Structure 1
């Protein structure tokens, strides 16, 4: 879809633009049941910029947008708002109240308003359709090779390092706590990771993604990273954590002492894996 969009933008000598909805519709309707986000909004914008997209239009999904007809969406946003010359769509795209609008409708309206529209064929990898569901399933299995093939890059999570409860530092295992900007994560467990950020270039570490059941009762996912053999002041900085290997599931321990002992074993397991991967 993006390659098609960029080709058409060059053909028309116009900026490329992608429309995204925030929150995602399923998050709006059922935030606790909605599928885990693969990328935050900031990660999505950064990834699109790397691919060469010029602009991103974020439209807030709310009751007004929910009730907007496909006709009104085309008239108000595509035509009056953006003055589109060409619209690129996934072949399964639906929009408008009750999902009234589809590719055929947009093409029909294009003939009336003077723009063109074209669907992009389904992208397949290994003979199967690439979809967010398939990516999430690969991440749940910790199959990072398949996730990379589907995404076109290694799977990572980025975020700003915030102040946590300082528990890790108090037990001799300081961690960087990331603000995930999402309720749920597609990953859960303990992982061997690489970290990129200020003063870091592929620094190896151990990350926990989950709700920290030993020390917290939160339902919101957290990401904590411990760097191996180094300490870097990261508070307030933006870092990227790339997941390489799952070490174990997240679990609840009877005491902080048991947790500390398990973290020590996790660190040893991560060292062994990185040594074998070199």
Structure 2
């Protein structure tokens, strides 16, 4: 997947060798095809001008800061986002804390403190709808004028539409994932939707039934459709395994339990506890069901495995990024 990306916690902590870089600015939740249009433009300019390629993003997501009582289904929490940006070819990502102090910077202060003094920006790339500074006072137009005054270039990338001409957005992808419309969501992302988490212990019922699972607790804000998925599983060492996963509350055995992603890996025997792994979702096979006892559940699990194996035998990469994320051993 290339050289490991540097993850930096604040704009004023950028290492000196990375100053003067091309800065792509945005939340980039999902790093979907619309985001990739901005990010690829930044990479092109960085290669052409021989500058470092850097992403400036914000943690937590600004919407979570301004609306803390509304849980936000994050498509790509910071570690997952960093892995995608690394795969694209960026040198560093600045995960700037979005707090009261930072959100209070005026547009002029954002330019002076963040872009000029902190990052030493050589060029800035943003999307067409980028706003910055207190009360969203800065616009692409004001950013262009600020660049002329401070000696850095500015590129604004137009909206990127799908094959039907509709703008690709993170909120649109979140809704598709809620509805189990995985092929369309993956098509807008440009890669298979992937989650990362530590493998935790469970009740080991799957082992008893002959289907031992690697269990992950996703964020409570995750609104992924409950059900059965054909998946590809990546270990921390980069090795890949096909599998079938259930995300949900396991109504047959534990209806009141917290949602878990439970992945049964094909042809695999090893201890994964405590390892941070990634699961890429290739197909939504069916919704979660409550069965009349464990025997009926086991028979359905066998059918789910057969279906997943058949699906995964025929899959092809959606893009070079998908190839790196879900097909190539790293």
> TM-score, with normalisation over the residues of structure 2?
0.73
CA distance in 2, matches of 1:168, 1:239: 19
Matched, 1:270 2:305: yes
Match of 1:51 among 85, 88, 105: 88
Residue 63 of structure 2 is aligned to residue 26 of structure 1: yes
- What is the aligned length? 274
Output the aligned Cα RMSD: 2.8
Q: Which has the higher contact order (CA 8 A, sep 6+)?
A: 2
CA contact (8 A) 1:40 1:180 kept: no
Task: Name the counterpart of 2:254.
Answer: 215
Q: Deviations over 1:37-75 (max 9, x none)?
A: 111211110110111111100111112122222221111
| Deviation of the 1:31 alpha carbon | 4.4
1:155-178 deviation per Cα after TM superposition (whole angstroms, max 9, x unaligned): 222222123344444555422122
Confirm whether residue 112 of structure 1 aligns to residue 149 of structure 2: yes
Write the distance in 2 (CA, Å) between the matches of 1:175 and 1:54.
36
- Cross-structure match for 1:145: 183
Q: Report the 3-state secondary structure (helix = DSSP H, G, I; strand = E; otherwise coil) of the residue aligned with 2:293.
A: helix
Aligned to 2:272: 234
In the superposition, relative to structure 1, how do residues 19 and 228 fare at CA in structure 2: closer, same or farther (>3 Å)? same
Q: Distance in 2 between matches of 1:174 and 1:3?
A: 41
Q: 1:124: Cα distance to partner?
A: 1.6
Q: Deviations over 1:211-257 (max 9, x none)?
A: 556637566x532212245432111223221212223333567xxx8
Does the residue aligned with 2:269 lie in a helix, a strand or coil?
coil
In structure 2, the partner of 1:180 is 218
**1:24, CA displacement in angstroms?**
0.5
Structure-2 residue corresponding to 1:10: 47
Asked whether the equivalents of residues 180 and 224 of structure 2 are also in contact (C-alpha less than 8 Å), the reply is no
Q: Which residue of 1 aligns with 2:76?
A: 39
1:69-80 correspondence runs (5 A): 69-80=106-117
Is the contact made by 2:122 and 2:151 (CA closer than 8 Å) also made in structure 1? yes
Instruction: Provide, for residues 179-211 of structure 1, a one-character-per-residue CA deviation record: whole Å limited to 9, x for no partner.
Output: 535632434322222223268855332212235
Q: CA deviation at 1:151?
A: 1.8
Change (3 A) 1:46 1:114: same
State the Cα distance separating 1:80 from its structure 2 match.
0.9
Deviations 1:62-112 (A, max 9, x none): 121222222211111111111111110100112222211111111121122
Asked whether the 8 Å contact 2:243–2:308 carries over to 1, the reply is no
- Pairwise CA distance, 1:135: 2.0
Q: Which runs of 5+ in 2 are unaligned?
A: 1-37, 314-330
> What whole-Å deviation, never above 9, does each CA across 1:104-125 have from its counterpart, x for those lacking one?
1111211221212120111122
Tell me, yes or no, if the aligned pair for 1:91 and 1:122 is still in contact at 8 Å.
Answer: yes
Structure 1 length-normalised TM: 0.85
Partner Cα separation in structure 1 for residue 232 and residue 48 of structure 2:
40
User: How far apart, CA to CA, are the structure 2 residues paired with 1:2 and 1:199?
Assistant: 27
SS at match of 1:128: coil
**Contact 2:242–2:312, Cα closer than 8 Å, also in 1:** no
Unaligned runs of 5+ in 1: none
Following the alignment from structure 1 to structure 2, what is the Cα–Cα distance between the partners of residues 252 and 188? 12
C-alpha distance in 1 between matches for 2:141 and 2:264: 51
Alignment of 1:84-163 (within 5 A): 84-126=121-163, 127-163=165-201
